[in-house]
Structures are given as C-alpha cells and as structure tokens.
Structure 1
Amino acid sequence: MDLLSEIVGELRLESVSYFRLELTAPWALRFPPGGRGIHIITRGSCWLEVDGPRPPVALTSGDLLVMPSGRGHVLRDARKPRKAVSIEELVRSASPGRAVEHGGDGVPTTIVCGQFRFGTLGHPALEALPPVLHLRGDEGVGPFVQAHTQCIAAEVSAPAEGAAIVTARLSDVLLVQALRAYLRDVPADERGWLRGLADPQIGRALARMHRNPELDWSVLTLAQEAGMSRAAFSARFTEQMGASPGKYLAEWRMYRAKVRLRSGAALVAEVAAEVGYSSEAAFSHAFKKLVGTSPSAYRDGHREDGRRAGQGDSPRRST
C-alpha cells in the first residue's frame, strides 16, 4: 500500500453527514471554525472566503471543496460582502430530510455540503493539511471524481437504505482524490508531509519511517533509502518537511506510541521496542520530554477516560 493510502486510512474519516442547500441570491452562509467539511457545487456559482489572509475564491458548478483543517469560512452568492447567516442555525430550523432553502428571489445555486471528522488523535498529517483543497470542475476534477460527486448528490437528494454507508465510502474517495490533485502542484512554500510526499526521494524515506519506526534509523540510512548523499538528504528533508529527519522520526515514534498506549493493553516495554527504543528507560525519558507525562501515566489516564465514557453512556442506553 502507498503512503498516501496508509495515512488517509490512519486518519479514519468518520461521522460523515450531508445536506443539500437550495439557495437563491442574495445569500451568505457562515461555517464556523472546527467543522471539517466537503462542498460540492452542483448548480450555479458562488464565492468562498476562508478565515485568515486569503483572497476570495470563485466557485462554479462541478467544483469540489474539501476543508480538512476545520478553518472557518463563508460561502456567498457574490463577492460583495453582506451579513452571513450561521449554517448551524439554518440547518437546525430546516425540516428533517428536506433540502435547506435560503435566500431571496434571485439566481439559484445548489450546494451539497458534508460534515465529517477524523477518528484519530494528534496525527502529524492533520497539522500539515491545507485549509482548502479545491478541485475545479472544468479542469481538476476528472470523470472519476465527477461520478463520485454526482453519486453523493443523488444519495442526498433521494436517500435510500444504506445511504450513510455509501456516502461515507464515497467521501473517502473524494478526500484521496483531492489530496492527489494537491500533490500534483504543491505550493513552493508548503511545509510538511504533503510536500515531502510529492518528492519521490523524500517520499521513499518517509514511507520507510512510517512503516518501520522500530528500525535503527540514522540520517545516513534514510539518505540511502532516498538514494541521496547524507548532506543533500538532510538539507532537502528539513527544507520540505519543516523539521530535521531526526525530529520528524522522534515525533512519529511518539505518535505511534500514543496510539498503542491508548489501547490500554500494551506494556510500556513492548511499546518501546515497537517504536525503536532499545530500553524502556530511554523510551520513557523521550516520551516524557515530548509528551509531558510518563508512558504509564498516559496509558492509565486514557484507560480511566474510557471507563468514565462507558459509565456515562450506560444510563442513556437503558432509557
């Protein structure tokens, strides 16, 4: 399996829910920070404004937007600013199972919106995801992606049994396709695993680190995996990833360790060996330095959180 597929699988896209917006100008909708979303423009056109110093983006029918970082944003019918209505209030007041209608008596626009979350915690890839992945219907979205967006739109317009499963699987595909398109033209100032993944040589070293964190990696052995000299590899890796090979490897090992410790069943010594530490003491020292607590305290804390969550669920299941 390629590294992109592995990382998307580790992120575990889940809790995908879609609704259809039937909008008529004038209109403006505010999507608050924290919600990760997918927008499919199926009719008409609009503008996207993302929180932060970014210029507005023109969208038209067939465009696909993936908002993987949860950045707040506004969709509006025209570039001219006007007060935006909260999408949460609009959806809350809509009739269940019906399209959400909003706006005046002007030009119509239809948007299929999805909200999702990642089922993992603290994955390094989450911090590297750009705020917007935009695939244009007239150039970036091929027939394969168009077919998937059309299927999602059809499922949302006329949901049938199993619609939730269908849209969840299609959403996985759209995320991968959006990342593929982004990797074909990564911005020059991008830093992180997406930039590294777009570089065949750095990508090979990343794949080996991700798949085998337990091996005794050095900058030299990673450079050999990449087919580069030690100095050239170290400089290019640091420039593209925003961290040295050693720092990135240490952080990846700690992430893998936290995943294993959260399961509550692994011994600290077992986890230490699985992520490349020759002794439990060395692992515990590195873990506490990077995470701020000991491996055993981290494991026991998540075990207790799990117990409290289970106890909190029990009364609701019995009613």
Structure 2
Amino acid sequence: MAANDPWISHDPLGEALHFLRMNGMFYCRSEFTAPWGLALPAMPSCLMFHVVTSGRCWLELDGEPPQALQPGDFALVAHGAGHRLVHEPGADCAGLFDLPRAEVGERYEVLRHGGDGKPTQLICGAVRFEQPAARQLVALLPRSIVIEAAQLPQRQWMQDTLRFMADEAGQLRPGGETIVTRLADILVIQAIRAWIERDPAAQGGWLGALRDRQIGRALTLVHADPARDWSLATLASAAAMSRSAFAARFSALVGMPAMQYVTRLRMHTAMAELREHGRSVGALAERLGYDSEAAFSRAFKRHTGLSPGAVRRGIA
C-alpha cells in the first residue's frame, strides 16, 4: 500500500473506530419484574453492554457507586468485569447462567426473571474485538461508561434506533436477530465516540496521537498494513517529516519508539490469529513479512514470552 495512497483515511481517529468490528459472543432480550437482580460473570477480553428499552434499573460494579439507568440509557462495561443489574441497589441476584432462557438463535436468547412488580426490559450483549488497533482503543476505556440518552445531541437518532431495536427484539421476525445485533454494534461504537468527545482522558496518549495530523497518518498506515516492510525512514516520509523529528514526536505522543510499535502490532495480530483462527505459524510468518518461520517464532517469543505453537494449540 503506497504511503501516498489517496484512499488512506485523513481521519485517523475515525479509522480506529472503523476497526471496531465486533464478534458477538451473545445477545439477549431481558424481561425482568421487580424484585429482581442479575449477576453477570467476568468475561475476559469482552465488552458487555446493556440498553434499557423500558423501565428502570441500576448497574453495580465493585469499587464504583451504583449507576441508575433510565429508558434509552446505554451502559458499557468495557473490560469484561463481573457486574450486577438490579431493580434497586443491594438487591439479591441470580447468576446469568442459572436462569432459564429461551434460545431464539445461535447467539440470541430471551431471559425472563423476577416477581410481580414493575417491569424492566433491556437488550444486553457481550462482544469481542479482534483487530489489534480496536483492542488498543478498547483498553483505554474506563471500567464502565453510561451514556444518558437525554444528554446526547443525537438524542432523536438514538431514541429512534432504540425503538426500532426494541421492536425487532420483541417480535423477532425473519432477519430480526441480524438487525438487533447490527444495531447493537452501532450503538456500542456511538457510546465509545461519545466518551472520546467528552472525557479529558481521551485527549492524550494513543488517542491524542491519532488526532495528530502527521503521526496519526503514520499510525493509520501501519494499522492498515502491519506486514509491510516499514522502517523509520518510510514512516517519516509518509508523515512528511524528517526521521529525527518523526522519531521524537512519535515516541512523545505514543509512548514508545515507532518500530517498537510496529513490532508490537504485528505480535498482537499474530496472537489473535493463532488463538482465534488457528492460523499456521508458517502462514503467519509469511503474512507478517518475516523471512522464515524460525525468525517469526523467535520474535514472537521475545515479545510475548510464549511460543507460537503453544498459543495455536491453546496451551498458553
């Protein structure tokens, strides 16, 4: 891919959001009546979300005060931490996998629980991100994010989307499962965008580097083609900077030297391919630009402390 390719995004932060392609682990429509409480277990490497479509509830996450959720609110638990949804703070909870559920599709189910009191309905899900740039972005998120519909400038759009989503979840006509999951993915990205726009913590570090016109362009090129034979010279040229100025600015904004970042991105890509797709070590070595399988294996073990074969076999 040429460094002056006109198709390379001029919005590196938007490009990072583009990488937020989600692999849905599960989605469910939850129908609760007070008194009720749901305990969700830790799901490492997953982002969990909850959309309140009617009624009210509370999100409880250890170490944080309970957060009230109103109709239209959207809550993210970013790092797979165990948490609770309850009709009131401190309510007794049943475990997610201890409750009966109606399986509607391979990844979609309906969950019902509670007594004879006020109803609350939610759409919940757990998703995982495979692309390393997306994982790096998600790693920067706080433990939880609550987007209040009333505070969003896109309130009408969000409300219309939620109504459409709730209607599809309630009826699940042919193709309804696909519509619900796609809309959920869009809402997750919208919630992350809202956090980036309003939280000072999102203005520096790697996200700040993406906003930098020159360093952001270099990052976009590396994310799009990590296997290319990148060098400090080619990256500096793509950013229209001298090598010394580029190296200093990249390290200052990203927190590590440019070539270390390239290698780390390649190793994260390899880790995901080995664990989740079972790619062969030889194929990965060729794909990521290594001259031999042995050279790739040495680099992988040096950076991860694990052998590629052990990761591929699921024993590391």
* Smaller-chain TM-score bracket: 0.7 to 0.9
Any residues of structure 2 matched to 1:290-309 within 5 Å, and which? 290-295=303-308, 297=309, 302=312
Q: Distance in 1 between matches of 2:240 and 2:183?
A: 34
Aligned position for 2:151: 139
Other structure's SS at 2:85 match: strand
Other structure's SS at 2:165 match: helix
Opposite residue 56 of structure 2, the aligned amino acid is S
Count of aligned pairs: 288
Contact 2:19/2:131, CA 8 A, preserved across alignment? no
Q: Distance in 2 between matches of 1:33 and 1:42?
A: 24
Matched, 1:117 2:127: yes
Cα separation, partners in 2 of 1:260 and 1:56, compared to 1, 3 Å? closer
Instruction: Identify which of 165, 171, 184 aligns with 1:171.
Output: 184
Please state how far the C-alpha of 1:39 moved relative to its aligned partner. Answer: 1.3
Q: Distance in 1 between matches of 2:170 and 2:240?
A: 48
Matched, 1:181 2:190: no
Aligned position for 2:252: 235
Q: Distance in 1 between matches of 2:171 and 2:40?
A: 25
Q: Distance in 1 between matches of 2:71 and 2:31?
A: 14
Cα separation, partners in 2 of 1:232 and 1:248, compared to 1, 3 Å? closer
Opposite residue 269 of structure 2, the aligned amino acid is R
1:19-76 CA distance string (max 9 Å, x none)? 232333x44332221174321112333322213x223222212101233422111223
Other structure's SS at 2:186 match: helix
1:144-179 CA distance string (max 9 Å, x none)? 232222222112222212221111211221122122
Q: Distance in 2 between matches of 1:6 and 1:224?
A: 21
Contact 1:219/1:234, CA 8 A, preserved across alignment? no
Q: Distance in 2 between matches of 1:66 and 1:27?
A: 20
Query: Percent of pairs identical after alignment?
Result: 28
TM-score normalised per structure 2: 0.73
Cα separation, partners in 2 of 1:294 and 1:142, compared to 1, 3 Å? same
Instruction: Identify which of 55, 60, 69 aligns with 1:59.
Output: 69
TM-score normalised per structure 1: 0.73
Opposite residue 68 of structure 2, the aligned amino acid is A
Q: How large is the Cα RMSD of the aligned pairs? A: 3.7
Aligned position for 1:215: 229
Aligned position for 2:239: 225
Other structure's SS at 1:221 match: helix
Q: Distance in 2 between matches of 1:254 and 1:82?
A: 44
Please state how far the C-alpha of 1:222 moved relative to its aligned partner. Answer: 4.9
Aligned position for 1:31: 40
Which moves more between the two structures, 169-178 or 109-118? 109-118
Opposite residue 42 of structure 2, the aligned amino acid is P
Q: Distance in 2 between matches of 1:37 and 1:280?
A: 37
* Structure 2: gaps spanning 5 or more residues: 1-8
* Structure 1: gaps spanning 5 or more residues: 306-319
Opposite residue 67 of structure 1, the aligned amino acid is V
Matched, 1:83 2:97: no
